[in-house]
C-alpha cells in the first residue's frame, strides 16, 4: 500500500483537493516561455477593420456563421454591438483620432474664447437685472408706491 502511494505522488495533481495549480509557475510542458505577456495591453482596432468586420458579420446568413467569424477573429459579440452603435451615430469616422491631450490652441484664440465666455456671462447678468427692475416697477404700480428717480440721476440733475 505504501509503495502504491509513493508511486501516485509523482502523478498526483498539485494544489488542494486535487485541482492543479494554474496561476503562476512554469507551464506543465516544461518550457520556460510564458503564454501571457508580462504586461497586459488593450487591443485597438482601426475604424477600417471595424467597418470590415461589421460588413462581414452583416453578410453572414447561415446560423453559426457570425460565431465562427468572432472565434476566428478573436472578438466578442459585444464588440459588434458597440461598433454598430458607433457606425449608426457616425462616430467611426472620428475614431481615427488618437486619444490623449488635445493640441494646444494659439494664445490669441484662447483669449478670444475667454472674452466670449465673459461677454455671455455679463449678458446673462444684464438679463437678470432687467427682469428684477421690471418686477420692481410692476410691484410698485400694484402697491401704489411712487418710484423716484435713481439717486445717481438725481445728483446729476441738481448740479
pTM summary value = 0.37
pLDDT value, residue 25: 46
pLDDT value, residue 95: 52
Q: Which of 71, 78, 73, 67 is nearest to 53 (CA)?
A: 73
pLDDT value, residue 86: 87
User: Which regions in the chain score pLDDT beneath 50?
Assistant: 1-27
Q: Which of 72, 51, 52, 69 is nearest to 60 (CA)?
A: 69
| pLDDT tens digits along 67-84 | 999 999 999 999 999 999
Q: Which of 42, 44, 26 is nearest to 34 (CA)?
A: 26
pLDDT value, residue 79: 93
154 CB contacts (<8 Å, ≥6 apart)? Answer: 148
pLDDT value, residue 65: 92
pLDDT value, residue 29: 52
148 CB contacts (<8 Å, ≥6 apart)? Answer: 154
Alpha carbon distance 96, 47 (integer Å): 6
pLDDT value, residue 59: 93
Amino acid at each position: 500500500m505504501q509503495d502504491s502511494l509513493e508511486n501516485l505522488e509523482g502523478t498526483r495533481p498539485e494544489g488542494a483537493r486535487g485541482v492543479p495549480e494554474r496561476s503562476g509557475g512554469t507551464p506543465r510542458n516544461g518550457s520556460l516561455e510564458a503564454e501571457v505577456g508580462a504586461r497586459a495591453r488593450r487591443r485597438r482596432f482601426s475604424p477600417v477593420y471595424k467597418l470590415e468586420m461589421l460588413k462581414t458579420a452583416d453578410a453572414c446568413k447561415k446560423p453559426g456563421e457570425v460565431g465562427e467569424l468572432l472565434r476566428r477573429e478573436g472578438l466578442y459579440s459585444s464588440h459588434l454591438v458597440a461598433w454598430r452603435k458607433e457606425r449608426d451615430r457616425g462616430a467611426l469616422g472620428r475614431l481615427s483620432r488618437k486619444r490623449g491631450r488635445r493640441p494646444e490652441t494659439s494664445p490669441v484664440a484662447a483669449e478670444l474664447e475667454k472674452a466670449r465666455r465673459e461677454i455671455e456671462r455679463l449678458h446673462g447678468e444684464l438679463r437678470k437685472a432687467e427682469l428684477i427692475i421690471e418686477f420692481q416697477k410692476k410691484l410698485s404700480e400694484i402697491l401704489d408706491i411712487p418710484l423716484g428717480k435713481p439717486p445717481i440721476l438725481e445728483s446729476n440733475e441738481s448740479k
